[in-house]
Every structure is written in C-alpha cells, then in structure tokens.
C-alpha cells in the first residue's frame, strides 16, 4: 500500500548555482595552455571538471581545485606551461564519465609529442569518438582505439599537426573545441563549420586570451602558433544546473524563485524560449559582463502547455531536454521533440531513459527514433526509476518526484555529483524559506 506523501513546499527566495561546467572545463584547459599562473573562481567542482583537472596534471600542468566553504566560492589555480610544453603522460588518463574531458583532451593530446592513452567509465567507453578522431587524424595525429578508433580506450600519438578545414556532420561544441585546441598547436589555419549553432564558449574564451580567431556565421577559423595570454576568470553560474531549479519552481505551487549570477550565453539558453512558449512565468535580467553574458532569472509557479521542439533548436537546449520532458508531462496538451537523436549518445541513451522512467511514474510518453512525444498533464504516481547513471536524467526524475503522489526513488543517484553535487542542498534551501 502506498502512503500519500506530504505536499511539497514552494521554492522561494534567491539562490546562486555553482559555476558552469562547460566554461570550467575550458577555463582549466586554456589556463594550462597559457604560460603562467591563473585562477578560476566559481569553478564547477563536480567530478567531470575534476577529471579535466586530473588530466591536465597528468600532462604536467599543476591544477588544484579548492572547494567552496561559507561565503567563499570554489577556486582553481592552474600553473600553465604554454602551447608547446605539455608532456607525454606517464599513465593512462581516466576521464571518468566526462565526455567533454575526453573529446577536448583528445584535441590537446593531438598537439603533444608522444603517446597519450585516454579512457573512462563504461558510459564513456560506449560513446562515439570517430566524430573527433577522424578530423584530428586529418590534421596529422595518429589515433587508434576499439572499433577502429570510435570507442575508448583511445591512444593518441601527437605532435606535428597541420591546420585543416573541417565540416562537422553534427553540431557539437565538444568536437569543435577539440579541433580548435589542436589548431592552436598546428601549422597554418584550422576552420570548423557546423550544421547548427552549438555553444560558443571556446570561441569567446580563446578571443579573450588573444588567440588569432574569427567567427563567420557557422564557421570559426583559428590560426595556430600564437601563445595564449594568462587570464583569471570568474565562471558564471551553470544555466543547465539552474534549469532543474527553474523546473522545480514551475511545477510546485506557490513557488517564486530568483536564480542570480547565472550564465545567459545565447547559445545555451534556448530552453527559456521553449518555457515562454509553454506559458512559463519567467523574467530574465541580464547585466553587463565580460566575455560571457550573466544575469538573473525570476521564475514563478505556472500552468504550462505543450509545445513543439524541432531539430534546429536542439543544440541550444541539448542538455535541457530531459528537464523539459519532465515539465511536458505536467503541461496541458502534447509536446513533440524531434531531431534530437544526439540524446541517444549522451551519458546515457536519454530518449530511452526518459521514456522508461517517466512512463514508470505514470506519464504518457512515447519514444521516436529522434525524440519524444509527451501527452499531458498526467498525474504522476511515484515509484522507482533508473537514472542509468546519468546526472541529468537523475535530476529530471527528482523534479518529477516533487509533483508525484508518492515518493520517487531514483536509482544511481550519486551520478548527480558529476555536474551538480549541490543540487539537493540548494533545493532544500529554497524550500525551507
Ligand atoms: C558540452 C557540449 C554538449 C553538451 C555537453 C557539454 C561542452 O555536447 O551536451 O554536456 O561543454 O562542450 P556536444 O557538443 O557533443 O553536443
């Protein structure tokens, strides 16, 4: 027999989310590639960014992360060695669950004379890597691995790279970043053209560091050889993490939450347009910032309606689709997500994970080859669901749990530590007000 759970308390007040994961990875890597000491404040302290810090250490760049305490923000200190002084690692580099570490480091290692071997957990070892391996080979790196180089462990024999023009089959900021990082050490110029608009943190941060880089529509071109300037950075709050709190506030009656200091890079916040179409009561307040737009987002409990999310909008909300799917189960009418096949090759097959978990909770969700069809609003009963060890799936199910009749138990919950270890603390804080 199920026990009826108490009504959830509203989310109230002002919260700040920890630093952006994508920007944190890039800040550490660019710091390691510049010559001298840089500090990165409000760095993301999840396991993925720690994997990047560990990998850079293996390549000879001292990189330490001190966690936040009291009012102090987490801070990384990196002793960079410049473009050509990272060295062959003495052991296999383990990136854990982090796709961004794996793909970006492949680009870095392609520029290092010597052999680097990279591997990761079972999810990483199942993810496609040819999308980055093939263009890096075209620049002169020798890369091999399982499945002819499509699966980690991967070995990279780097050095002597020559710039090349790359046309990507899928929009991917990870691949674009890997190729630009390799391009920094290559002779001549490297360009990357994408079929869609992926996040542009790398381009912005390289420009700030003085790289010879220019963006023209969906093409970015970089000429290698110029050393990067040492830059101290303050990382904006992670919009992708903020979306789980925004989602919770939209669903729980009485909520009125402000998230401050959050990154508002236009290539990241496509989910806000979708939420507005769905009828969310939201307001966004940008403030002047350096190379990355930052501001606050106010959100109030709202009655949502279904919407359509098609392929060309997907890269701008790729990591937010799981929480949007949860919200769609509570929206009036149908939500259709198409052109999102990339979700199948993330930390888990997110289309399968979402359909299985949300249906188990009582939602009306069906899978398509490249998306989901969700009919709402459906009362959620509660029960046990599997995160497939995917942080964004786990947090999406936790938010569903806020409006389920009974408790929701998420299997593999500890995976949340990869990006947002503070999630439950911040949710609890917002609900205690
Ligand atoms: C990321 C890019 C995205 C995103 C991932 C982080 C990045 O992946 O899904 O969580 O930091 O560059 P793709 O670039 O492969 O789409």
| Mean model confidence pLDDT for the chain | 96
- At 1 the pLDDT is 41
- At 258 the pLDDT is 98
Residue 3 has pLDDT above 60, yes or no: no
Q: Check: CB of residue 171 under 8 Å from CB of residue 315.
A: yes
Ligand 1 pocket: which of 318, 339, 419 to mutate (most atoms within 8 A of CB): 318
Global pTM value:
0.98
Both 272 and 312 in one domain: the answer is yes
* % of the chain beyond a pLDDT of 70: 98
Which residue range forms the structural domain that includes residue 219? 21-231
Ligand 1 pocket: which of 19, 20, 22 to mutate (most atoms within 8 A of CB): 22
Both 162 and 276 in one domain: the answer is no
Tell me whether residue 3 is exposed, middle or buried, using C-beta atoms within 10 angstroms of its C-beta: 0 to 12, 13 to 18, 19 or more: exposed
pLDDT in tens, 252-303: 999 999 999 999 999 999 999 999 999 999 999 999 877 899 999 999 999 9
Report the distance separating Cα 198 and Cα 172, nearest Å.
Answer: 6
Domain count, the chain: 2
Both 419 and 317 in one domain: the answer is yes
* DSSP string of 94-133, one letter each residue: E-TT-HHHHHHHHHHHHTSSEEEEEE--TTGGGS--HHHH
8 CB less than 6 Å from ligand 1?
A: no
168 CB less than 6 Å from ligand 1?
A: no
pLDDT in tens, 47-79: 999 999 999 999 999 999 998 777 689 999 999
319 CB less than 6 Å from ligand 1?
A: yes
Domain boundary among 231, 262, 294: 231
- At 316 the pLDDT is 98
Both 227 and 250 in one domain: the answer is no
**Radius of gyration (C-alpha) of the chain in whole angstroms:** 21
Both 52 and 137 in one domain: the answer is yes
- At 67 the pLDDT is 85
pLDDT in tens, 69-126: 776 899 999 999 999 999 999 999 999 999 999 999 999 999 999 999 999 999 999 9
Report the distance separating Cα 288 and Cα 113, nearest Å.
Answer: 42
Both 33 and 146 in one domain: the answer is yes
Atom of ligand 1 nearest to the CA of 177: 12
Both 256 and 225 in one domain: the answer is no
CATH number for the domain that contains residue 375 = 3.65.10.10
* DSSP string of 132-156, one letter each residue: HHHHHHHTT-EEEEHHHHTEEEEEE
Q: Check: CB of residue 100 under 8 Å from CB of residue 25.
A: yes
Domain boundary among 178, 198, 231: 231
Q: Check: CB of residue 397 under 8 Å from CB of residue 327.
A: no
Atom of ligand 1 nearest to the CA of 22: 11
- At 241 the pLDDT is 98
First to last CA, the chain: 32
Atom of ligand 1 nearest to the CA of 104: 12
Both 280 and 402 in one domain: the answer is yes
- At 6 the pLDDT is 65
Both 212 and 258 in one domain: the answer is no
Average pLDDT on 137-161 reads: 98
174 CB less than 6 Å from ligand 1?
A: yes
Atom of ligand 1 nearest to the CA of 240: 10
pLDDT in tens, 316-353: 999 999 999 999 999 999 999 999 999 999 999 999 99
- At 69 the pLDDT is 74
Both 82 and 11 in one domain: the answer is no
Domain boundary among 198, 231, 264: 231
Which of these, 339, 354, 330, 334, lies nearest to 280 by C-alpha position?
A: 330
Q: Which of 319, 349, 386, 390 is catalytic?
A: 319
Both 183 and 287 in one domain: the answer is no
- At 2 the pLDDT is 45
């Amino acid at each position: 027999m199920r026990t009826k759970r108490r009504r959830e308390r509203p989310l109230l007040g002002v919260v700040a989310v920890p630093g952006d994961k994508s920007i944190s990875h890039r800040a550490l890597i660019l710091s390691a590639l510049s010559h001298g000491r840089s500090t990165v404040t409000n760095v993301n302290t999840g396991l993925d960014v720690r994997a990047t810090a560990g990998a850079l250490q293996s390549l000879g760049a001292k990189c330490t992360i001190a966690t936040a305490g009291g009012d102090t923000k987490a801070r990384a200190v990196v002793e960079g060695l410049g473009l050509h002084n990272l060295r062959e690692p003495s052991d296999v580099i383990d990136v854990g669950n982090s796709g961004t570490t794996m793909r970006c480091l492949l680009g870095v290692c392609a520029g290092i004379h010597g052999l680097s071997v990279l591997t990761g957990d079972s999810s990483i070892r199942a993810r496609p890597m040819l999308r980055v391996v093939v263009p890096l080979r075209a620049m002169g790196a020798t890369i091999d691995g399982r499945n002819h180089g499509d699966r980690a462990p991967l070995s990279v024999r780097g050095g002597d790279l020559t710039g090349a023009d790359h046309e990507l089959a899928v929009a991917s900021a990870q691949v674009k970043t890997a190729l630009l990082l390799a391009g920094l050490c290559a002779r001549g110029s490297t360009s990357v053209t994408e079929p869609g608009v992926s996040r542009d943190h790398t381009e912005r941060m390289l420009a700030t560091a003085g790289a010879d880089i220019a963006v023209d529509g969906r093409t970015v071109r970089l000429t290698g050889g110029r050393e990067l300037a040492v830059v101290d950075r303050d990382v904006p709050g992670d919009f992708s993490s903020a979306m789980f709190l925004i989602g919770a506030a939209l669903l729980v009656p009485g909520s009125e939450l402000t998230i401050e200091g959050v990154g508002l890079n236009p290539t990241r916040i496509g989910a806000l347009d979708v939420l507005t179409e769905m009828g969310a009561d939201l307001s966004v307040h940008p403030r002047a910032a350096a190379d990355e737009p930052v501001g606050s987002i106010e959100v109030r409990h709202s009655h949502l309606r279904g919407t359509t999310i098609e392929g060309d909008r997907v890269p701008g909300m790729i990591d937010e689709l799981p929480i949007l799917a949860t919200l769609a189960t509570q929206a009036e009418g149908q939500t259709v997500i198409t052109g999102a096949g990339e979700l199948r090759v993330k930390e888990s097959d997110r289309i399968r994970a979402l359909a299985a978990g949300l249906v188990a909770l009582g939602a009306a969700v069906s899978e398509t080859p490249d998306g989901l069809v969700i009919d709402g609003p459906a009362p959620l009963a509660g029960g046990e669901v599997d995160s497939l060890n995917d942080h964004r799936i786990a947090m999406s199910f936790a938010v569903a749990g806020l409006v389920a009749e009974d408790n929701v138990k998420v299997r593999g919950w500890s995976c949340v530590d990869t990006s947002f270890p503070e999630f439950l603390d911040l949710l609890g804080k917002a609900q205690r007000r």
